[in-house]
């Protein structure tokens, strides 16, 4: 009867290990899925950032162009030195 108790304990241990494996496997899959979702969210956020950076650069260029035009209007001949 002693071997039956050992066999039963081994079966219980095996069942517990299987349940633990399944639980850990599910947790891993859930974490993996969250990583995939986060990676997609990062891609979308990066596109927004790239668009915002392009908008800022365009605004800076426009401001520079407007400044250049204003300077050209103030100094039509392109000479910025004072006439004495």
DSSP string, 11-32: HHHHHHHHHHHHHHHHHHHHHH
Its domain, for residue 26, covers 19-64
**Confidence tier at 79 by pLDDT (50, 70, 90):** low
User: For the chain, what is the domain count?
Assistant: 1
pLDDT (0 to 100) of residue 3: 87
* Within-domain flag for 46: yes
81 has a pLDDT exceeding 70:
no
Rg (CA), the chain: 35
Tell me the whole-structure pTM to 2 decimals: 0.57
* Within-domain flag for 41: yes
Residue 82 per-residue DSSP state:
P
**Confidence tier at 14 by pLDDT (50, 70, 90):** very high
* Within-domain flag for 81: no
């Amino acid at each position: 009867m002693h071997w039956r108790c050992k066999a039963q304990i081994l079966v219980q241990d095996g069942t517990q290990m299987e349940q633990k494996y399944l639980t850990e496997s599910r947790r891993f899959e859930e974490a993996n899925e969250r990583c995939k979702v986060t990676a997609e969210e990062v891609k979308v956020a990066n596109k927004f950032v790239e668009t915002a950076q392009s908008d800022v650069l365009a605004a800076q260029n426009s401001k520079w162009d407007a400044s250049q035009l204003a300077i050209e209007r103030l100094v039509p001949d392109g000479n910025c030195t004072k006439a004495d």
